[in-house]
Amino acid sequence: MATWKQVEDYVRANFRIQQEHGDILTMRFEVVGGRTQLVSVRPAVSGEGEEWIDIISPVGEQDRIDVVRAAEIAETYLCGGVITEGGLVFVRHSAPIVNWEPEELEHPLSAVLLAADEMEKKLLGVDNL
């Protein structure tokens, strides 16, 4: 049975952490066209008390984004959904930690960061966050 500590250790060993805030680990990735995208990995707890991994990537400020349009764009993605938090719109994917294997982080992390970057381009036209 995996734990958040194992996830955290894997992230620290395999990615360059740009910022830490409590249990939130944030990384910056370069994407096509000289753009960059922030992605954070953080622990979450389900209503049943199970530990989960949350992968989030910001799209932009909520007051500058048509959130309904963002949700429509997100329906084309296999991984992630749109949330708002702290005045920002994010693409988020969550998964339980219980049977987590390290290689299971790579694909959803990549999918979330690329979805957020694409959504940012479509909705704002700039590399904002």
Dihedral sign, Cα of residue 25, residue 31, residue 33, residue 37: negative
How many domains does one find in the chain? Answer: 1
Report if residue 129 sits inside a domain: no
pLDDT on residue 129: 59
Name the stretches of the chain with pLDDT < 70. Answer: 127-129
pLDDT on residue 1: 72
CA distance 95 to 28: 21
Report if residue 100 sits inside a domain: yes
pLDDT on residue 97: 92
pLDDT on residue 127: 67
Nearest to 60 by CA among 95, 35, 87, 34: 87
Host domain of residue 9? 4-124
pLDDT on residue 126: 76
pLDDT on residue 55: 96
pTM of the model: 0.92
pLDDT on residue 125: 82
Q: Look up the CATH number of the domain holding residue 8.
A: 3.30.1460.10
